Amino acid sequence: MTRFSTALALALLLVPGATTGAAAASFDCETPELKADEKAICETRALNDADVRMVTTFELLSGLLAMGARGSLQDEQSAWLQKRQACGADTACIAAAYEERMKQLGETYKNINRPL
């Protein structure tokens, strides 16, 4: 198992247990101007946990990528956030968006150039 895989596995195991109802990984649930998708994430533990996993994975990948690839990853993340926001309060749609994003992030990890 690579060092990244070990760190990612550990992060994914530890972070969901550290969440509270007051904060998701990528935004503050106490903010009064929350969008419908963000409210649904704050109110639904499974979505909150999916947010934590996605953001943790995104941040780990960002640290592994070169600047150009990192910029592309950030652009993809912005586009994905717009797609998630389009779900509104539909929890099934939001869950599917997280599942799709995790698959995309997994593909990004698989395609990282590694030394032989």
Tell me which residue range forms the domain holding 93: 34-116
Number of domains in the chain: 1
Rg (CA), the chain: 15
> Residue 96 domain-assigned?
yes
> Residue 22 domain-assigned?
no
Stronger pLDDT, 43 or 116, i.e. the higher one: 43
Per residue in 47-73, pLDDT (tens digit) is: 999 999 999 999 999 999 888 889 999
Distance CA 114, CA 116 (A): 6
pLDDT for res 68: 85
